[in-house]
């Protein structure tokens, strides 16, 4: 169950009013049709809210008070020892210290907070799949919430924007773990447990890709590629199957990519066994003749997506162009429900549209593969050349020598020109970067009432993948080798062997041009904010919009189209996302209301 959680524990013996945490809950953007619970002791108050779509399970799953103190949890747990009484029992037992399951063995997209009355301490935990638990700690109290707006009702917390972190978004820089966009408020690092008392942090453990071990039941196969493939498919299927309940309807997103195709295909097999249909959703370009995609990418993903759908007899395929969805109001909504500016606002219109359609179709769970690039379909950014028998065993010596000369020539040219070659990103580093993506999807799940799950973030799957040698992922020029070979006979070869990536929102410039009036209105609202005027180049953003409006997008050469697409995505739309975030601090803008 995806729920909003919040609460406070006072260390100064001040008594709390009844239902204090409910006042925190009211500040958070949660669906109007919601179920809530709150319990308050003398010095502690916890609250929870979720969509009314969980009405059948609400009373059974929620535990706010127990013998040790107060406990609240949210999300999905997949451990085998999860009790029939409540899926959160394993989390509560981990907190209480009465479970055989260790912290590193929790498998799920979940978070919990427990208050120990005897120790007068509070423990917070979130898994890799969730990255949305915030807390504020001082000598007098500790407050926590799954959304920073909850802290607005606490006068001791001076809510101000973290301009430095916001600039990371604007300049495509990685975010600093542990920092939030709200000064003074700490954002939990995914995969972390922290225990805090009146005097500060008592204990902290972080599960990183460096300290997780191979899953049980798989042998240390190393260079035995066939055995690696067998283990991979076994654990990958299990990651998907643990997230399936065929008693109710599920959906999946389906693009031209390997990740979503693989997840959809394996999902389809499971639903075929139950004689049930699977609905898949594909975002399509509404203005294909005005779209742009970099060289080597696809403007339109529907052809390959349709191939996957047609290869599975029980798939009901829905292709949506989201023509009537507002780009600006989608950005506004995401900033509102996350409380943060975002990296990829150009994608929000189709994400919002598909989620609303999934909810309208009465589907309760949506499968995505957003984190696959770092896990199931990872490929090294700078593949090794040696030893040849490991990485290029089937490549002729003549072609291998050509490759060596090509690489050497590029390095010499880069050195002479003074260019610095980008550092190679390891699989562990990419996983660490990707594991925070679910922040957005958690809030979308809560808002829409649809549980969004990503099996590519499964902890047991990641343990296995990190144990494989590099040539499992790349050999003889074949990138994403593990998944390409794993999907042999499952996905159509045209999809399985496709080397082009899909360009999401390839027609975003054409959409902005047609919605220019609303974009101007958003820029006008943002310009009333002094913070926005100080930190954003609003004149440049306005100039970009007017250039788009005055350009015939159908006749552009490649370089011009590339430049306008970059300006629209990286400066205009990211700037609007940041501007709406800033405007809430010094204007009366209502982000919960459409522009």
Burial class of residue 547 (count of CB atoms within 10 Å of its CB; 0-12, 13-18, 19+)? middle
DSSP calls for 525-558: HHHT-HHHHHHS-HHHHHHHHHHHHTS-GGG--H
For residue 488, give Cα distances in angstroms to 133, 166, 494: 40, 43, 11
Domain layout of the chain by residue ranges: 3-206, 225-379+425-502, 388-417, 508-586
The residue among 347, 349, 271 whose CA lies nearest residue 312 is 271
d(CA 493, CA 448): 35
Length of the chain: 595
Q: List, run by run, the mean pLDDT of 10-residue segments along the chain (595 residues).
A: 90 87 91 81 88 63 75 83 64 78 78 92 86 89 94 90 93 81 89 90 79 57 73 92 86 94 95 93 95 93 95 95 96 93 92 93 90 86 82 89 84 68 63 68 86 88 86 88 93 94 93 97 97 97 97 95 96 97 94 89
Nearest to 548 by CA among 521, 578, 522, 511: 511
In whole angstroms, how far apart are CA 24 and each of 63, 64, 69, 100, 121? 19, 16, 20, 35, 20
Which among 343, 575, 378, 351 has a CA at the least distance from the CA of 447?
Answer: 351
**Which has the closest alpha carbon to 573: 500, 525, 522, 528?**
522
Which numeric CATH code is attached to 3-206?
3.60.20.10
pLDDT attached to residue 425? 65
State the pairing for strand pair 297-298/278-283.
Answer: unpaired
Q: Determine whether domain 225-379+425-502 maps to CATH 3.40.50.620.
A: yes
- CA-CA distance, 285 to 503, in Å (whole number)? 10
Transcribe 417-442 into DSSP letters: HTPPPPPPPPHHHHHHHHTTTHHHHH
What DSSP string runs through 286-314? S-GGG----TTEES--HHHHHHHHHHSTT
3-state secondary structure of 336: helix
Q: What is the DSSP string of 25-43?
A: HHHS---SSEEEEEEE-SS
Residues 291, 502 contacting (CB under 8 angstroms): no
pLDDT at 212: 61
- Total-model pTM: 0.90
Query: Look-up: residue for tokens 């020598």?
Result: 401
Percent of the chain with pLDDT over 70: 89
**Cα distance between residue 425 and residue 216, in whole Å:** 28
Cβ–Cβ under 8 Å, residues 61 and 87? yes
DSSP 242: T
């Amino acid at each position: 169950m995806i729920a909003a959680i919040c609460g406070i524990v006072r260390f100064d013996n001040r008594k709390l009013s009844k239902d204090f945490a409910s006042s925190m809950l009211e500040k958070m953007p949660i669906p109007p049709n919601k179920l809530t619970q709150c319990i308050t002791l003398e010095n502690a108050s916890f609250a929870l809210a979720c969509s009314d779509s969980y009405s059948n399970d609400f009373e059974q799953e929620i535990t706010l008070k127990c013998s040790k103190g107060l406990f609240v949890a949210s999300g999905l747990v997949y451990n085998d020892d999860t009790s029939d009484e409540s899926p959160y029992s394993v989390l509560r037992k981990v907190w209480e210290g009465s479970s055989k399951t260790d912290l590193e063995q929790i498998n799920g997209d979940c978070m919990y907070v427990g208050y120990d009355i005897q120790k007068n301490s509070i423990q917070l935990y979130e898994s890799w799949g969730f990255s949305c638990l915030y807390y504020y700690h001082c000598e007098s109290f500790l407050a926590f919430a799954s959304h920073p707006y909850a802290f607005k009702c606490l006068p001791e917390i001076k809510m101000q924007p973290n301009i430095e972190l916001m600039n990371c978004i604007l300049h495509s820089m990685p975010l600093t773990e542990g920092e939030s966009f709200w000064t003074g408020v700490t954002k939990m690092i995914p995969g972390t447990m922290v225990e805090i008392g009146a005097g500060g942090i008592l204990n902290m453990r972080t599960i990183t890709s460096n300290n997780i071990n191979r899953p049980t039941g798989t042998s240390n196969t190393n260079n035995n590629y066939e055995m690696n493939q067998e283990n991979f498919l076994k654990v990958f299927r299990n990651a998907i199957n643990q997230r399936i309940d065929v008693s109710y309807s599920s959906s999946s997103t389906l693009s031209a990519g390997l990740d979503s195709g693989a997840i959809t295909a394996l999902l389809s097999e499971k639903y075929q066994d139950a004689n049930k249909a699977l609905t898949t959703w594909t975002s399509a370009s509404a203005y294909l003749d005005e779209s742009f995609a970099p060289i080597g990418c696809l403007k339109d993903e529907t052809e390959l997506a349709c191939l996957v759908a047609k290869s599975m007899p029980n798939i009901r395929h829905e292709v949506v162009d989201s023509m009537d969805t507002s780009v600006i109001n989608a950005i506004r909504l995401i900033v509102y429900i996350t409380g943060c500016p975002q990296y990829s606002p150009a994608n929000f219109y189709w994400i919002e549209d598909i989620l609303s359609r999934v909810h309208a179709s009465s589907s309760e769970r949506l499968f995505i593969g957003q984190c696959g690039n770092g896990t199931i379909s990872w490929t090294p950014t700078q593949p090794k050349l040696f030893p040849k028998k490991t990485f290029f065993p089937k490549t002729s010596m003549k072609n291998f020598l050509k490759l060596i000369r090509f690489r050497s020539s590029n390095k010499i040219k880069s050195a002479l020109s003074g260019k610095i070659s980008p550092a190679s990103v390891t699989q562990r580093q990419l996983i660490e970067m990707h594991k925070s993506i679910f922040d957005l999807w958690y809030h979308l799940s809560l808002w829409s009432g649809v549980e969004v799950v990503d099996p590519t973030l499964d902890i047991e799957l990641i343990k296995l993948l990190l144990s494989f040698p590099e040539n499992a992922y790349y050999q003889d020029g074949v990138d994403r080798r593990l998944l390409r070979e794993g999907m042999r006979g499952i996905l159509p070869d045209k999809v399985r062997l496709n080397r082009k990536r899909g360009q999401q929102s390839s027609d975003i410039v054409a959409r902005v041009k047609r919605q220019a009036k609303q974009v101007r209105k958003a820029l006008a609202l943002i310009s009333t904010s002094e913070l926005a005027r100080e930190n954003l180049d609003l004149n440049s953003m306005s100039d970009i919009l007017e250039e788009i409006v005055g350009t015939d997008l159908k006749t552009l050469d490649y370089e011009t189209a590339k430049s306008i697409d970059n300006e629209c995505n990286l400066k205009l739309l990211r700037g609007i996302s940041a501007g709406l975030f800033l405007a809430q601090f010094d204007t009366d803008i209502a982000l919960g209301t459409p522009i």
